[in-house]
């Protein structure tokens, strides 16, 4: 027998709702009720003003996926895949019925990040602070006392050795010439890879004289390919393609001529903005990425400010900008700031700044707050191990700025979820005690041993 086609309204009546499938006491369900989703629907709708074409992705879906992504340390592909499997994820992002297909392609998250920019990411962080206030994780008293420190958010690049950079530049130039139809005199496709491997062997054997000689040869190979393309650059038509080739040639030329200790060195051809930062660590002498300023509450470690600081500035020069962001996100200026000795020489006026090692003129309460300065270190460690602050996959300085703020959002969400789980556990324990001590049928009280 052939069944009649059902209307969408009849299909919805037959489909189970998410609220009937999940535990409404779950922390993600409680958190969804604390976030002001209407703000995203109202403000983010302006990023897609066109009335023609395919409708834009729902703003709450995108904001929720970004929160979940950085809460659980997932990639774009992983968070979309887990969304299909997890009904709590779907409820958190505003779905009514359980969905069996991905809501968006993972690349949509990249386009949304590019559209909202750092300002949109800071609004995401602001909404987590508001949710933290509603959940009781932070209050105005805690927000008035903050701790500020810097860390390094490494970039998703390979370790930048000279041999690897020279060989990578040669491979890119050869591929570029092939795409443009440029005939090269020689590509060194056989000699250069072998020589790059041999340089690594010389370095491992501590035969540095041979290593430097082979390195000069490899640099000569890359330079010859670069000059060969440059001689034929005039034959290309003027436009964006020719400008792109000229930019790549200039970047490779800077790579080949940069001094060992020069400023503004190139450590990755696809990420020329990467900085080499030395933090004095015994296990890692140098880190390649971007410096990030982190501001958390002294009590609780709740993130109230995250900002990327490109160019590896002195820590003391970043304090004023970090406190300005804290005031913007929380609508209040901190009264007390504790920092380490790297911030000596700052020019902040207004809030009281306590630097590690200060002794004179401090009350017992201020000394207690100063001893709590080091509590920001494990918070940064959790953002790197539990979150995604350890490695930034986004491109350019703009990607660093957006990614740093989103990592702060994920840290705050984890704090709020932990608080909600603790409250649920306390409620469950209270109910269990009430049931054990409930009155018996004869009017007396049931003792736990008698009940057993």
Q: Are 34 and 415 contacting, i.e. CB atoms less than 8 angstroms apart?
A: no
Q: Any bridge partners for residue 147, and if so which? A: 296, 338
Residue 202 has pLDDT above 90, yes or no: yes
pLDDT at 12: 64
Parallel/antiparallel/unpaired status of strands 275-277 and 303-309 = unpaired
Assign 359 a pLDDT band (cuts: 50, 70, 90).
confident
- As a whole number, mean pLDDT of residues 228-256 equals 90
Per-residue pLDDT, averaged over 206-229, amounts to: 96
Q: What does the block give as tokens for 197? A: 């491997």
> What is the pLDDT at residue 433?
83
What's the pLDDT score for residue 51?
A: 60
- When the pLDDT of each residue in the chain is averaged and rounded to a whole number, the result is 89
pLDDT one-digit tens code per residue, 280-303 = 777 888 999 999 999 999 999 999
pLDDT at 450: 46
pLDDT of 3 reads 42
The pLDDT confidence band at residue 452, using thresholds 50, 70 and 90, is: very low
- Of residues 162 and 44, more confidence is placed in 162
The residues near 286 (Cβ < 8 Å, ≥ 6 apart) are 276, 277, 278
Q: pLDDT (tens digit, 9 = 90+) per residue, 333-347?
A: 999 999 999 899 888
Confidence of residue 152 (pLDDT cuts 50, 70, 90): very high
pTM: 0.88
pLDDT 10s digits, 90-102:
999 999 999 899 9
Reported as a pLDDT band with limits 50, 70 and 90, residue 350 is: confident
Place 445 in a pLDDT band, splitting at 50, 70 and 90. low
Look at residue 263 in the predicted model and tell me its pLDDT. Answer: 86
**Mean pLDDT computed over 77-81:** 96
Looking at the chain, which residues constitute the CATH 3.30.420.10 domain(s)?
A: 127-158+275-415
Q: Which of 163-167, 258-262, 264-268, 315-319 has the lowest mean pLDDT?
A: 258-262
pLDDT for the residue 443: 55
Pairing mode, strands 391-392 and 336-339: unpaired
pLDDT given for residue 444 in this prediction: 54
**Closest to 341 in 3D by CA, of 310, 374, 366:** 374
Point out the least confidently predicted range of 46-55, 140-149, 315-324: 46-55
Cβ-contact 295, 382 below 8 angstroms: no
- Is 80 exceeded by the pLDDT of residue 10? no
- The answer to which of 347-351, 430-434, 445-449 has the lowest mean pLDDT is 445-449
What is residue 50's predicted lDDT score, i.e. its pLDDT?
56
pLDDT the model gives residue 49 = 61
- pLDDT for residue 401: 95
Q: Which residue has the higher pLDDT, 206 or 52?
A: 206
What value does the mean pLDDT take over residues 10-19? 72
For the stretch 275-308, what's the b/e string if a residue is b when 16 or more beta carbons lie within 10 angstroms of its beta carbon?
bebeeeeeeeeebbbbbbbbbbbbbbbbbbbbbb
| Residue 259 φ/ψ region, left for φ over 0, alpha for ψ in the -120 to 50 degree band, beta for the rest | beta
Q: What is the pLDDT of residue 41?
A: 85
Give percent above pLDDT 90 in the chain: 72
Q: 415 exposed, middle or buried (CB, 10 Å; 0-12, 13-18, 19+)?
A: buried
Query: Cα angle at 46 between 45 and 52, to 5 degrees?
Result: 85
Minimum mean pLDDT range among 38-52, 111-125, 126-140, 424-438: 38-52
pLDDT of 130 strictly over 50:
yes
Residue 352 CA to residue 347 CA, distance in Å, equals 12
- Cα–Cα distance between 377 and 28 in angstroms, integer? 27
pLDDT at 134: 93
Catalogue the long-range contacts made by 388-394 (C-beta closer than 8 Å, 24 or more residues apart).
388/70, 388/73, 389/151, 389/153, 389/292, 390/153, 390/154, 391/153, 391/154, 391/155, 391/156, 392/153, 392/154, 392/155, 392/156, 392/289, 392/290, 393/75, 393/156, 394/113
Q: Which of 295, 321, 310 is nearest to 383 (CA)?
A: 295
Write out pLDDT tens, residues 22-62. 999 999 999 999 999 999 888 887 776 656 656 668 889 99
- Out of 3.30.420.10, 3.30.70.3270, 3.90.550.10, 2.60.290.11, the CATH code matching 127-158+275-415 is 3.30.420.10
């Amino acid at each position: 027998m052939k069944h009649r086609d059902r209307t969408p309204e009849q299909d919805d009546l037959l489909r189970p709702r998410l609220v009937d499938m999940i535990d409404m006491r779950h922390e993600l369900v409680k958190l969804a009720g604390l976030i002001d989703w209407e703000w995203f629907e109202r403000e983010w709708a302006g990023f897609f003003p066109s009335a023609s074409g395919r409708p834009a992705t729902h703003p709450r879906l995108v904001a929720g996926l970004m929160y979940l992504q950085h809460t659980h340390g997932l990639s774009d592909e992983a968070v979309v895949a887990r969304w299909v499997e997890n009904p709590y994820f779907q409820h958190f992002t505003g779905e009514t019925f359980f969905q069996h297909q991905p809501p968006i392609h993972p690349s949509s998250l990249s386009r949304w990040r590019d559209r909202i920019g750092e300002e949109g990411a800071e609004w995401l962080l602001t909404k987590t602070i508001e949710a933290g206030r509603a959940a009781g994780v932070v209050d105005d008293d805690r927000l008035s006392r903050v701790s500020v420190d810097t860390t390094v958010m490494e970039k998703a690049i390979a370790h930048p050795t000279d041999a690897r950079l020279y060989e990578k530049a040669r491979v890119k130039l050869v591929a570029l010439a092939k795409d443009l139809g440029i005939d090269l005199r020689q590509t060194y496709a056989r000699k250069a890879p072998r020589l790059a491997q041999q340089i690594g062997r010389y370095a491992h054997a501590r035969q540095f004289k041979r290593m430097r000689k082979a390195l000069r040869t490899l640099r000569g190979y890359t330079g010859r390919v670069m000059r060969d393309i440059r001689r034929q650059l005039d034959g290309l038509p003027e436009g964006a393609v020719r400008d792109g080739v000229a930019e790549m040639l200039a970047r490779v030329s800077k790579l080949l001529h940069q001094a060992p200790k020069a400023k503004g060195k190139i450590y990755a051809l696809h990420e020329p903005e990467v900085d080499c930062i030395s933090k004095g660590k015994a296990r890692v002498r140098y880190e390649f990425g971007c410096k990030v300023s982190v501001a958390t509450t002294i009590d609780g470690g709740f993130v109230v400010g995250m900002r990327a600081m490109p160019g590896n500035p002195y820590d003391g020069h970043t304090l004023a900008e970090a406190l300005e962001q804290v005031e913007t996100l929380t609508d209040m200026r901190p009264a007390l700031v504790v920092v380490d000795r790297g911030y000596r020489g700052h020019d902040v006026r207004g809030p009281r700044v306590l630097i590690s090692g200060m002794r004179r003129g401090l009350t017992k309460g201020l000394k207690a707050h100063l001893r709590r300065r080091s509590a920001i270190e494990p918070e940064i460690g959790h953002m790197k191990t539990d979150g995604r602050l350890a490695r930034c996959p986004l491109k350019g300085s703009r990607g660093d700025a957006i990614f740093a703020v989103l990592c702060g959002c994920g840290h705050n969400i984890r704090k709020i979820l932990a608080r909600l789980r603790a409250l649920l556990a306390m409620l469950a324990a209270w109910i269990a005690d009430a049931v054990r001590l409930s009155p018996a049928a004869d009017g007396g009280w049931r003792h736990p041993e008698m009940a057993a």
